[in-house]
Structure 1
Amino acid sequence: MKSSPQVGDVHQFSFRVGENKVVPALYPESDIFLSMPDVFATGFMVGLMEWACTDHLRPHLAEGEGSLGVLVDVDHSAPTLPGQVVTVVVTCDKADGRRLGWSVTASDEIDVIGQGRHERMVVEWGRFQRKLDEKRARLQAICQANGG
């Protein structure tokens, strides 16, 4: 990392919820999800919280670095309709080397819709890709051994 976010740093990120970010769109293969209301899906809210944290982290990363989510502990307490704007406020509450954490709060124009914590680990993409390649090779060996 070029530098680390400091505990207490605050960052805000906003996003207008589209029709493609509702519960039925989360897993369109599931008849259960397809029967649910068209409201902002929890899975997409979590992704938006991650996006806000990565946006805060971006200027601190060196070339070839990125981050991966390693902890999510949030609630989703109010529905949001498509077309509403969700604003996520993240506050850095942990800066332990490459492991960083934020308290996160998401609100639409009317309600706080979710809050909790998120942590990310800064990684060097080349090293991470090598681990993926090793795992892919092990998986292929297992599949070949099982006749697949």
Structure 2
Amino acid sequence: MVISIAFLRFYDERDFSILGIIPDPRIWSNRLTVAALLATLVNFGVEWNRRNRETDRLAREEQRRLEEKQRRVEEEQRRVEEEQRKLEEEQRERARRIEEKEQAARRARVEAERDIAFGTVLIDPSDENREKLRRVLAVIDEYKDNL
């Protein structure tokens, strides 16, 4: 297009006989200049739009990448919290089992002491043995909720 403009602007019929076919080559040169400017403006607009779309695409891609990273971090955090919760639950369960075992051992010890005191009273019903049985029964009565 630029070559056509220059051809029409700077040459005339004496240089090229083909220019005799075109009426008013300067007017056509001006028209082609305006067309070239319009084409340049359109191209500029198209390139501007393409660049904006590319920038937007890159920004969306970066945003998606950041959101994915944030999602992975949150997922990892939930997983860690879940593991901590499970560990705490296991520790509570372990402590509860230990407490139950200790309570069962205390109960068995008190029951054995009671049975021994009761058996001793049956074998030898002396005041001393009855007093031991009363003390054991008093301890059982006092701590019956904890045994």
Bin the TM-score by the shorter chain. under 0.3
TM-score by length of 1: 0.22
Q: Choose between structure 1 and 2: higher helix proportion.
A: 2
TM-score by length of 2: 0.22
Q: Choose between structure 1 and 2: higher strand proportion.
A: 1
Rg: which structure is higher?
A: 2
